[in-house]
Structures are given as structure tokens and as C-alpha cells.
Homo-oligomer: A and B are copies of this chain.
């Protein structure tokens, strides 16, 4: 059993904090940080900033320069072993002559996991794995999920009054939530690889579904300048072919991926309920568009489908301190349940105030719920 020293913990914590600096920009790549030390001196450090640009290890090695020889490298993720847009980092560490590499976790891709470590060991480098692994995993839940399952990590955003209404019966809903909650949504959008919605929602709200830098919280603006803004792609379910070029959606240069059952950017089957197959949609987005992380903003119908198909990893629910009455539009539509055993169970991960609203983050529990509608 490997024993890590307090200094090891300190350096890996530093590497994890560095990795976090890439959280708005690395998609579809993972967030990775690296620190290189000799004795108790930090010689170099770096993090991955943007896909196509150097990996964390490269930045750290460049900074350390000749002093890397005999050094220890702390990396939050197993160094890569393949030639992609950049040469493999394992090779870089070997060439630089480091004598020890400590990784927080192995590569989550089962097809390459362990290869970088093997390459290092074969070059005579001492390698240890597992320091602060849980924290390192928390850097990249979406990347890890896609690598391990071929399906993106799905966050479903909903907003309602405290009594579960998303709009009045006549459809009026602006604004249920506070400005702070809407800013908070921008923060989530900015971390996603794609925003998923439906043509109905896009047309109803004439929504652009972009990250509006001006609306990000000040604490984010400070670390994420407007010139660096990465826009998630917009994925729109449009079976009825309603999207048209006059929509605000098309006023932003970031790509729109139209999903339908024919002649679309992503073409999928229609299921027995006459709806676009969401599991196929998500798997295709993962495979052909490298989407790790999908932020869903849509209405009750899509929310219900995703939940019933057990495709939601996190529900992010904003509850406004308002009572709208049960005759408005409900959060998830009718479910036709007849027994409490059929109810969909969640686990509350977080519950806090955002401005005057409550934000609940909940994880759906696996269920045998069958569609009743």
C-alpha cells in the first residue's frame, strides 16, 4: 500500500486547483493540472486550458526546464500515451527525465487506461496512483461518464414556483426566478459542452441559448475574460422541422445541431411514443461530437422523457419563493401514477439559496418506473 506524505497531498491539492482553472474552456478535453517538484521546491506547474493546446504536463515541464531531471511530477490524471493533436505526455515526462510520477487517477477510458502509466514504468520511472482520487474525479464527472459509458453527463435544469408550477395556465411565466438564479444558469451553461432544448422552447422564448458573458457572476468574470469565452453548441430537437433562420438561435456563431428523424445533423429513430429516441441522441452526440456534458433547458415533455429513460445525472431545480396555484403548468407534466411505489425517487445533493430562490441539486435514483402515458 502506497503511503503518501503530507507534502504529496499539498502538491496534488495544488494540481487539482490548477486543473479547475480550465473548467470553462477545456471541453471536450478533461480538466488536468500538474505540479513538478524537486525536494520541497516547486519547479513548474500548469493546467490544460483548451483542446488542441498543450496539456498540463507540457506547461509544467516547460516551466521547470532542465531542472525536471530527477524531479517528481504530480498529475491529476494519468498522462496520455497517444499521439493526438499533441504528442503523448508520458513521452514528454520520460524525455524530461523525471524520476517519479504521482497520478490522482487512471485514465477513465477503458481502452487506454493504464497505458500511460505502463509507458512511464517501462522507462524506469516510479509511478504511484490514487492520491486524492475522489477530488480528481470530481474535476471531470462528465468526461469520465462519456469515456466509461459512451453517454454524456446530463444536467436537467428546471425552474418553478415553490408549488411546482413553471407557468400560469395561460402560459405566462416571466419571471419566475430572480436575476441571481438566471445568472447562476449562465454559470452552468458556461461549463457545458452542449445546451439541449427543443424547437418549441426555442421558438416560444426566441431563445439564443448562448453564454452571455455580461450575465456571469462577477467572481467568474474575474477569472474568465470575455475574449476567452467558449460557447457550448446548441442541440435542438426539431422533429417537426420548425427551426428557421430568423430565430435568435442563429444570430450566434456557435453551431446549432438539429436533431430529427431525417435530414438532420443528428438523425435518430422515433420511439414507440412518437418521440425522438433520446438515448440514441445522447450516444450520437458523445460519439460524433465529443460532447461530455449536456445542460438541458426545456419544457415538461422533454424533462419527463429524459427522467423516465433514466438519462438524467443531475436535476438542477430552481424554486422561486412564489405560490402560483395548482392550475398552472406543472414541472414534469402528468405521469399517470396510481401507486406511491411508482413515484420517482431522488437524492438531494445540495439545497441552498441563490438570490431569493432555492437551488436544489438532486440525483435521480435508479428505478423500475415504467411509462404510464
Contact with B along A310-351 (1 / 0, CB 8 A): 000000010101111111111111111111100111111001
The verdict on A300 contacting chain B, using a C-beta distance below 8 Å, is yes
Known: A321-B362, A356-B347. A331 touches B326 (CB 8 A): yes
Contact (Cβ within 8 A) B343 A324: yes
Contact (Cβ within 8 A) B168 A164: no
Known: A346-B322, A348-B321, A362-B162. A173 touches B340 (CB 8 A): yes
The verdict on A264 contacting chain B, using a C-beta distance below 8 Å, is no
With a cutoff of 8 Å between Cβ atoms, the chain B residues found around residue A170 in the complex are: 338
Interface size class of A (residues with CB under 8 A): 35 or more
The verdict on A144 contacting chain B, using a C-beta distance below 8 Å, is no
Q: How far is the CA of A170 from the CA of B342 in the complex (A)?
A: 13
Query: Which residues of chain A (259-313) have a CB below 8 Å from chain B?
Result: 300, 307
Known: A168-B339, A339-B172, A351-B352. A163 touches B325 (CB 8 A): no
Q: How far is the CA of A344 from the CA of B365 in the complex (A)?
A: 33
Contact (Cβ within 8 A) B348 A358: yes
With a cutoff of 8 Å between Cβ atoms, the chain B residues found around residue A353 in the complex are: 348, 351
With a cutoff of 8 Å between Cβ atoms, the chain B residues found around residue A330 in the complex are: 163-164, 325-327, 330
The verdict on A183 contacting chain B, using a C-beta distance below 8 Å, is no
- Pick the residue among B172, B336, B345 that contacts A340 (CB under 8 A): B172
* Nearest CB in chain B to that of A348: its residue: B321
Q: How far is the CA of A351 from the CA of B360 in the complex (A)?
A: 10
Sample of 27 A–B contacts (CB below 8 Å): A161-B343, A162-B164, A162-B346, A162-B360, A162-B362, A163-B164, A164-B164, A169-B338, A172-B338, A172-B340, A322-B343, A322-B345, A322-B346, A323-B331, A324-B343, A325-B330, A325-B335, A325-B336, A326-B329, A327-B333, A327-B334, A327-B336, A347-B356, A348-B358, A351-B352, A351-B353, A358-B360
Beyond A323-B344, A327-B335, A351-B351, list 4 extra A-B contacts (CB 8 Å): A160-B164, A164-B165, A326-B331, A348-B356
